[in-house]
Amino acid sequence: MARSYWNQLTDNKKASFRFHHVSTDEVYGDLDETVFFTEETAYDPSSPYSASKASSDHLVRAWHRTYGFPVVITNCSNNYGSHQFPEKLIPLVTLNALEGKPLPIYGNGQQIRDWLHVDDHARALRLVLETGKNAETYNIGGHNEKTNLEVVKTICSLLDKLVPYSPYKPHEQLITYVTDRPGHDVRYTIDADKINNDLGWRALETFESGIEKTINWYLNNSEWCKHVQDGSYQRERLGTDTGEVE
């Protein structure tokens, strides 16, 4: 559909047209402790889920190479922030802890992710769309590597402080370890030097500043949280039997 729209444009409008494909760091697969994902990292997805994302990246590049379709691609690290669906780790743990429910963590909780605040990601997306070079890929990361266990313990500590009269303090006592999920990569982390150097983008939120803003948002927006959960979804992991996600 996008190519059909592009073909109908005048030459002047074609010159300013850009298809921005938003992807993820999962396409690169598992990473050892010494390196970072760059735009040159070979794709090596570990699960059908991440393989489907990798295939979409390949399809976009093929449209550019075959038809000259103008594209930019971005691969981002784990996003977090307000309005995130409560299947995801940070809202799930926050809402479960407030209700005294278990805080499920896959395996030993040592899976490492690079956490990127959604506002920083949104700024980067707009910048790449407006100023990124045609057919280029840009990795977007927050330079905030944390294990899943560190993230959960941080949330528990913040809730202990922000909800001092909670009957479930210390919230860390609610942590529960569950069987790891198949194909679960141990470490993802982004080298964002290209977008830093070429386009001048920098993440403005540290994990410490971003996570406190995020937890406060959920505490102050209980009605929104209730509304998105008043149907069939009850914080279960979609497609599996467990409730924790990365």
Sequence-separated (6 or more) residues with CB below 8 Å from residue 66: none
- For residues 178-215, one letter each, b for 16 or more C-beta atoms within 10 angstroms of the residue's C-beta and e for the rest, the string is beebeeebebbbbbbebbbeebebebebebeebbbebb
pLDDT tens digits, one per residue of 4-49:
777 788 888 888 888 999 999 999 999 887 789 999 999 999 999 8
245: pLDDT strictly greater than 60 = no
Residue tagged 């489907």 (tokens):
52
Q: What is the largest CA-CA distance in the chain?
A: 65
Least confident span in 90-94, 186-190, 210-214:
186-190
What domains lie within the chain, and their CATH numbers? 10-228 (3.40.50.720)
Calculate the average pLDDT of the chain.
91
Instruction: At 135, list the tokens.
Output: 């057919």
pTM for this prediction? 0.89
Mean pLDDT value across residues 178-197: 90
User: Which of 56, 61, 75 minimizes the C-alpha distance to 116?
Assistant: 75
241: pLDDT strictly greater than 70 = no
Instruction: Give the integer Cα–Cα distance in Å for 137 and 156.
Output: 37
Residue 131 has phi, psi (to 5 degrees) of -130, -5
Least confident span in 58-72, 109-123, 134-148, 176-190:
176-190
Instruction: Give the integer Cα–Cα distance in Å for 55 and 47.
Output: 12
Instruction: Give the integer Cα–Cα distance in Å for 148 and 146.
Output: 6
Q: What are the start-end ranges of the E strands in the chain?
A: 19-24, 71-76, 78-80, 103-106, 112-117, 137-140, 145-147, 175-178
Residue 2 has phi, psi (to 5 degrees) of -65, -40
pLDDT tens digits, one per residue of 8-18:
888 888 888 88
Q: Where in the sequence numbering do the catalytic residues fall?
A: 25-26, 49
User: Which of 72, 193, 73 minimizes the C-alpha distance to 143?
Assistant: 193
- Going by pLDDT thresholds of 50, 70 and 90, the confidence category of residue 73 is very high
pLDDT, position 244: 47
Instruction: At 97, list the tokens.
Output: 């802890």
pLDDT, position 12: 84
pLDDT, position 146: 96
**How far is residue 60 CA from its own chain's centroid?**
21
- Going by pLDDT thresholds of 50, 70 and 90, the confidence category of residue 242 is very low
167 cis-preceded (ω within 30 degrees of 0):
no
237: pLDDT strictly greater than 80 = no
pLDDT tens digits, one per residue of 132-176:
999 999 999 999 999 999 999 999 999 999 999 999 999 999 999
Q: DSSP H helical segments within 68-166, as ranges? A: 89-98, 118-131, 148-162
Beta carbons of 107 and 176 less than 8 angstroms apart: no
pLDDT, position 169: 95
- Going by pLDDT thresholds of 50, 70 and 90, the confidence category of residue 3 is low
Strand partners, 116: 79
pLDDT, position 16: 82
